[in-house]
Structure 1
Amino acid sequence: MESYRKRLEWLQNNEIPHRDKLADGLLAYNQAIGNHQRAMEGIEKLRKQGTMVVIGGQQAGVLTGPLYTIYKAVHLIQAARQLSAQLNAEVVPVFWIAGEDHDIDEIDHTFWLTDQETKLHKEKISLPRTGRPSASSVPLGRAEYEAFMEKLFANLTETEETAAIRRWVEEAAASSKTVVDWFARLMTSLFGKHGLILVESSLPFVRELEKPVFTQVLQRNEELSALVADAAGRLESAGYPLQLEVGGQEANLFLYEGKDRLQLLRHGDRFVTRRGTYTREEMIELAETDPCRFSSNVVTRSLMQEHLFPTLAFVAGAGEIAYWAYFKEVFAAFGKQLPIVLPRVSVTLVEGAIARLLKDFDLPIDKALASFAAWKEEWEASRGAHPLTDRFQHVRDAMQELYQPLVSEVALLEPGMEQLAEKNAARLLEQVDFLERRLVLALEQREDIGKRRLWRLEAALNPAGGLQERKLSIIPFVNKYGLSLVDRLVEAPLVHDGSHQVVYL
């Protein structure tokens, strides 16, 4: 709490000058995407000096993307509530949609479980594009959308919630021109009533407010690069893997050439993309007259966020937090201070059937999440030869030891019966073999059921060898438990200490 109080004091002494413009832009955007009145009330609070934000963001994944996007929104809402109470201050939650991201392959798909929920299936929606456009400019084609939806709902088990889920998805899509619009409307319908405010990174009002930072970054570009390189050197010396490419020529900005978002590099006193060359003066003038031509990269996005919002705390995943290890000196050089950086809540949802499987396998949930692959290898190794293999062989050996002398004695008394006696001995051994084969068959059938149960457990808790939240979406869960599941997560007593938590459904 001492860190929060220090941060609060710093924000009070460094008040942002554009609260009204920020609130006006947020209000217009959140009204356009149909956000809830609770979110509008939070925006109005932002007009007042002293109101702070807890902020975090994510790419605009199809159908809200992986579960961790949902958990990040939940964390923002819970953290804003808790900090408001603890600090006796106004704190509102803000979700930053990374709509300018041009890596469309990261957002154009969703995963679900098929084949009795034992296999992970990936389904992509066709998002027509050429070049390197931002997601916010990629249209949501109706034909492509409908084809995707048919495949999705053909593979979802029909429940009493399915019709409502389809309406929810389709109503959001009907009013959306782009995949980012679709994402935003789905998120507002889930979280708007809890006060979550949304902002999209490529909005014109955002670009207009960012102009002073664009100008500073261009004027002090060499200094910015040097600070990032110095941080990289310290991190590498301390044994950390480098998260950023630091070659010395990165301008740490992108420039739009047409619809393509292209990396901006610096060569001497000139800035270049693969399509054009600009002087520093031309760049600064362009930032002033047409800021929508510019886009932040991972380094400058953090500066933009700090400039735009009175940020008390920033909620981020592990990968994002690793980037922020580079930024302390950068922030200081630009007259900023790092906000509190919080690891987002990390959750695995466990359904009743999965909980029963864990019990049947005598597998503790912590072991299932931390070392499933090793446990699975042990389990499969224990399924080798059946446990009576040695016993059956012992019976064969004993029968031959007892029966063979009798065959010899019969042959001495009546030589013509020797062949009959040999066949009789073979038939006895065949009966032992038959019993063993039937046992093996029965065990294999039971084993097949066991393997399928194992596959189901793995698909639910460890899909593709990683945490559930990194692959599965919220869709199959709300299809079973309804959209109110999200409200239950918002109200769940989750802890914000970076630990991984389990929610039993």
Structure 2
Amino acid sequence: MKVMSVRLPLANRLAHDYVLGKESAVACFGYHPYEQASYRERLNWLRGQAFPHRERLADGLYTYNQSVDNHPEALKRIEALRCPDTYVVIGGQQAGVLTGPLYTIHKAVHLIQAAQKLSAELQTEVIPVFWIAGEDHDIDEIDHLHWLIDQERGVHKERVELQKKGRKSASQLPVDEEACQRFLEAFFHAHTQTEHTPSIRALLEETLRAATSMADWFARIMARLFGKHGLVLVESSLPFVRELERPMFRKVIEQNEEISLLLGKAEERLEAAGYPKQLQVAENQANLFLYEDGERLLLERYADRFVNRRASYTKEELLRLLEADPQRFSANVVSRALMQEHLFPTLAFVGGTGEVAYWAYYRDVFAACGLQLPIVVPRMSVTLLEGALGRLLNGFDLRMEQVLTGFADWKRTWEAQQVRHPLEQKFAETREALLAVYRPLVEEVVKLDPGMERLAGKNTTFLLEQVSFLEERLIRSLHEREDVAWHRVRRIEAALLPDGGWQERKLSFFSFANKHGLTLADQLVEAPFALDGSHQIFWL
């Protein structure tokens, strides 16, 4: 098992500076994510806090994880959470079909490895918790998967044909077994059948038959992949979760104006430090959703009323509704962070670079709600490098840093250095000969009818373009047939930079598992990754 770490710039400058430990970024959070002293300090703070709902939290988690057939090892970790000196490392993701892009898998691996590492270093139980954002109602973000067709045709996007009506969340969206089965057929038809295909098909079809919603299907797949490693699952819309969140929803309603003011001040501080806006902050945002007839609608605050497109409430009416029916309430990106911190004794939160940038706004909001921002850890990023591709990189003397940060420039330079095909000179000579013959004819035409000068010029350009078109197609065909190097360059690009972006943001875990087996998930968990903000290259 070979792993290599490389330092790469992050697209989000705030997250990049945070990884590098720049004071301007670290000051937004309170803890440095890569210093052990941060974890001891945070642990000491947690030990001084009360979590009176631990038993009810463990009961709810146990029931839910049993319901999605999570592994006994995960259930064992939930039992450990009843102990006052047990803590969590937590992160989450939307409930993408077949787990969505690879980065979902990488986040689960990071949580498991971080929990193992911290348990050993701090000599206390730390369990990994994966928060399924099942209430996300942007179904278009989770109803599809990408896979690589070949190096010429690139990446294919396949959608599940879900019946989407209104602002329904993934946890409310029933599984359409026929539509999902058609999706699976498309997936397996597009992939070469291997010795691993039957077991993957069995896992996906078994979990599909048992699932009650798209979020439930996601949870069952994740349980099968990572439950044996102790990954505990929680889904945001569960009734027990909402019941336990009620005190924090009350604070968000009662302190709504203050929270908005603090978010605005955080934005000003970030801009003063030279960082662009990371989060949409509006004076009238209530940072809450409310379910109306099953639809998850955004609440906004105008004067003394909370309004969505169907109803209007006073603060007192909202508080009474919260007491009577907490299931009507749902968190947004800001309040979700508060709910998570209220629910769990959180040692560290693991998030993507965008999430890290959002959390830079929350420090004072947490304090206003009687909480403290946990250690915010950027999720590790990983590229899976198959052996044949590694050999191709060596053949071009290409480093992974070049591929992931400057491949387009390298490719242009490489193409310019290639020996031109002899036919290219012949086509150039043909164009010159064509002009030599055709230009005198055009001159005669223009003498006879000056009004045809423009048409004659267009006609000349058209003839030359047709010769160039034929040249381009022929040279491309010859390259494809004769030039192995061109094939290899396209192969590298398609596998490591599909659609021009990092592999983990586009391709699916199950495409790789189809070639390497479901044990790939276990190999990733056991890999010696450096959880230090560097990019990880994992050789397959």
TM range (shorter): 0.7 to 0.9
In the alignment, which residue of structure 1 is the partner of 2:165?
130
The aligned amino acid for 1:379 is: W
CA distance in 1: counterparts of 2:387 and 2:314, whole angstroms:
63
| 1:246-257 matches, cutoff 5 A | 246-257=281-292
**Matching residue within 395, 400, 415 for 1:365:** 400
The aligned amino acid for 1:497 is: D
In the alignment, which residue of structure 1 is the partner of 2:468?
none
The aligned amino acid for 1:12 is: R
**Matching residue within 105, 113, 122 for 2:140:** 105
Whether 1:316 aligns to 2:351 is: yes
**Matching residue within 208, 214, 221 for 1:173:** 208
**Matching residue within 347, 361, 384 for 1:326:** 361
The aligned amino acid for 2:202 is: R
Residue 140 and residue 238 in structure 1: after superposition, are their counterparts in 2 closer, same or farther (change >3 A)?
same
In the alignment, which residue of structure 2 is the partner of 1:486?
521
Q: Is the 8 A contact 2:196 2:513 kept in 1?
A: yes
Helix, strand or coil for the counterpart of 1:371?
Answer: helix
Residue 203 and residue 445 in structure 1: after superposition, are their counterparts in 2 closer, same or farther (change >3 A)?
closer
Q: Which of 279-288 and 239-248 deviates more?
A: 239-248
Cα shift at 1:157: 0.6
Task: Map Cα deviations across residues 115-153 of structure 1 (whole Å, 9 max, x no partner).
Answer: 368611111101112111111101110221121111111
**Matching residue within 10, 18, 42 for 1:7:** 42
CA distance in 2: counterparts of 1:445 and 1:472, whole angstroms:
25
In the alignment, which residue of structure 2 is the partner of 1:339?
374
Residue 387 and residue 493 in structure 1: after superposition, are their counterparts in 2 closer, same or farther (change >3 A)?
farther
Helix, strand or coil for the counterpart of 1:379?
Answer: helix
CA distance in 1: counterparts of 2:253 and 2:413, whole angstroms:
57
In the alignment, which residue of structure 2 is the partner of 1:382?
417
Q: Is the 8 A contact 1:172 1:186 kept in 2?
A: yes
The aligned amino acid for 2:230 is: G
In the alignment, which residue of structure 1 is the partner of 2:154?
119
**Matching residue within 62, 77, 80 for 1:45:** 80
CA distance in 2: counterparts of 1:254 and 1:170, whole angstroms:
34
CA distance in 1: counterparts of 2:169 and 2:185, whole angstroms:
26
In the alignment, which residue of structure 2 is the partner of 1:274?
309
CA distance in 1: counterparts of 2:42 and 2:153, whole angstroms:
48
Helix, strand or coil for the counterpart of 2:167?
Answer: coil
In the alignment, which residue of structure 2 is the partner of 1:420?
none
In the alignment, which residue of structure 1 is the partner of 2:533?
498
Q: Is the 8 A contact 1:265 1:273 kept in 2?
A: yes
CA distance in 2: counterparts of 1:27 and 1:441, whole angstroms:
60
Q: Is the 8 A contact 2:246 2:326 kept in 1?
A: yes
CA distance in 2: counterparts of 1:102 and 1:77, whole angstroms:
28
**Matching residue within 155, 179, 183 for 2:190:** 155
Helix, strand or coil for the counterpart of 1:136?
Answer: coil
In the alignment, which residue of structure 2 is the partner of 1:57?
92
Cα shift at 1:357: 1.7
In the alignment, which residue of structure 2 is the partner of 1:230?
265
CA distance in 1: counterparts of 2:88 and 2:175, whole angstroms:
31
CA distance in 2: counterparts of 1:118 and 1:502, whole angstroms:
25
- Paired-residue identity, %: 60
**Matching residue within 312, 323, 327 for 1:292:** 327
Cα shift at 1:442: 10
CA distance in 1: counterparts of 2:475 and 2:217, whole angstroms:
54
TM-score by length of 1: 0.88
Cα shift at 1:335: 1.0
Q: Is the 8 A contact 1:118 1:455 kept in 2?
A: no
The aligned amino acid for 1:209 is: L
Cα shift at 1:453: 2.5
Helix, strand or coil for the counterpart of 1:47?
Answer: coil
**Matching residue within 476, 479, 493 for 1:444:** 479
**Matching residue within 199, 214, 238 for 2:249:** 214
CA distance in 2: counterparts of 1:165 and 1:119, whole angstroms:
23
CA distance in 2: counterparts of 1:79 and 1:224, whole angstroms:
31
Matched positions, count? 459
Task: Map Cα deviations across residues 404-439 of structure 1 (whole Å, 9 max, x no partner).
Answer: xxxxxxxxxxxxxxxxxxxxxxxxxxxxxxxxxxx9
Task: Map Cα deviations across residues 27-55 of structure 1 (whole Å, 9 max, x no partner).
Answer: 00000000000001100010110100000
In the alignment, which residue of structure 2 is the partner of 1:422?
none
The aligned amino acid for 2:270 is: L
CA distance in 1: counterparts of 2:187 and 2:305, whole angstroms:
49
In the alignment, which residue of structure 1 is the partner of 2:218?
183
Helix, strand or coil for the counterpart of 1:10?
Answer: helix
Q: Is the 8 A contact 1:118 1:459 kept in 2?
A: no
Whether 1:92 aligns to 2:110 is: no
Residue 447 and residue 264 in structure 1: after superposition, are their counterparts in 2 closer, same or farther (change >3 A)?
farther
Q: Is the 8 A contact 2:89 2:348 kept in 1?
A: yes
CA distance in 1: counterparts of 2:74 and 2:155, whole angstroms:
36
Cα shift at 1:441: 9.9
Residue 374 and residue 284 in structure 1: after superposition, are their counterparts in 2 closer, same or farther (change >3 A)?
same
The aligned amino acid for 1:195 is: G
The aligned amino acid for 1:264 is: L
Q: Is the 8 A contact 2:127 2:230 kept in 1?
A: yes
Q: Is the 8 A contact 1:254 1:295 kept in 2?
A: yes
**Matching residue within 87, 93, 110 for 1:75:** 110
Gaps of 5+ in 2: 1-35, 429-473
Task: Map Cα deviations across residues 442-493 of structure 1 (whole Å, 9 max, x no partner).
Answer: 9635565433322221111011111100000101111011011110100000
Q: Is the 8 A contact 1:45 1:51 kept in 2?
A: yes
Gaps of 5+ in 1: 394-438
Q: Is the 8 A contact 1:55 1:76 kept in 2?
A: yes
TM-score by length of 2: 0.82
Helix, strand or coil for the counterpart of 2:124?
Answer: coil
Whether 1:200 aligns to 2:235 is: yes
| 1:28-39 matches, cutoff 5 A | 28-39=63-74
Structure with higher Rg: it is 1
Helix, strand or coil for the counterpart of 1:172?
Answer: helix
CA distance in 2: counterparts of 1:485 and 1:66, whole angstroms:
15
| 1:347-362 matches, cutoff 5 A | 347-362=382-397
The aligned amino acid for 1:227 is: L
Over the residues paired in the alignment, what is the CA RMSD in angstroms?
2.0
Residue 311 and residue 442 in structure 1: after superposition, are their counterparts in 2 closer, same or farther (change >3 A)?
closer
Helix, strand or coil for the counterpart of 1:336?
Answer: coil
